[in-house]
Amino acid sequence: MTVAFSGFGQKAIPFLKALDFHQSREWFLENRDLFESELRAPFGDLVETLSERFAAVELGLRGDRKKSLFRINRDVRFAKDKRPYNRHLSAILSPDGTKMEQGVFFVHIGLERCFAGVAWWQPGPALLLVMRNAIATRPGEFRALIEALKQNRLELDAE
């Protein structure tokens, strides 16, 4: 049994705001312990708590603090925005517990927004054809699904 998620530390949001302002390796290294205790460790608890709850209802999505969390460092090699650190935390729970699966549950917690969602990341041609055919042959059901999402303040996003 993992440590149950009990929320983020009181310094979590101030840390993200300060990181957004400083965006330097020196500042981050000086404050790494705060990042680990206030953000990364609780976020790992959240992912493992979700994994246990998904298992309890046989949802088939797993995750853990070692494989599921994305790094705070950004890959800036080809990006216009050269800030070295993300201003958010994100993680994926998937059928095999890795970030390599196509069908995933995604969690994002940041300064601008927090959200959770399900996604198909780069579905292969065969799966994409099945999905497109299902929509094309049953457009009424697809529109009803979109409407049901809207009524529950949810949305289908192309991203």
Q: Which domain holds residue 18?
A: 12-121
What percentage of the chain exceeds 90 in pLDDT? 81
pLDDT of 106 above 90: yes
Domain count within the chain: 2
Kindly state whether residue 85 falls inside one of the protein's structural domains.
yes
Q: What are all long-range contacts of 69-75, with beta carbons under 8 Å and residues at least 24 apart?
A: 69/40, 69/43, 69/44, 70/99, 72/28, 72/35, 72/40
Going by pLDDT thresholds of 50, 70 and 90, the confidence category of residue 120 is confident
Instruction: Render pLDDT for 28-54 as a digit per residue (tens, 0 to 9).
Output: 999 999 999 999 999 999 999 999 999
Tell me the whole-structure pTM to 2 decimals.
0.84
Q: Do residues 91 and 41 share a domain?
A: yes
Kindly state whether residue 5 falls inside one of the protein's structural domains.
no
Instruction: Render pLDDT for 45-86 as a digit per residue (tens, 0 to 9).
Output: 999 999 999 999 999 999 999 999 999 999 999 999 999 999
Order across the sheet with 114-120: list the strands.
Answer: 88-93, 103-110, 114-120
Q: Do residues 150 and 116 share a domain?
A: no
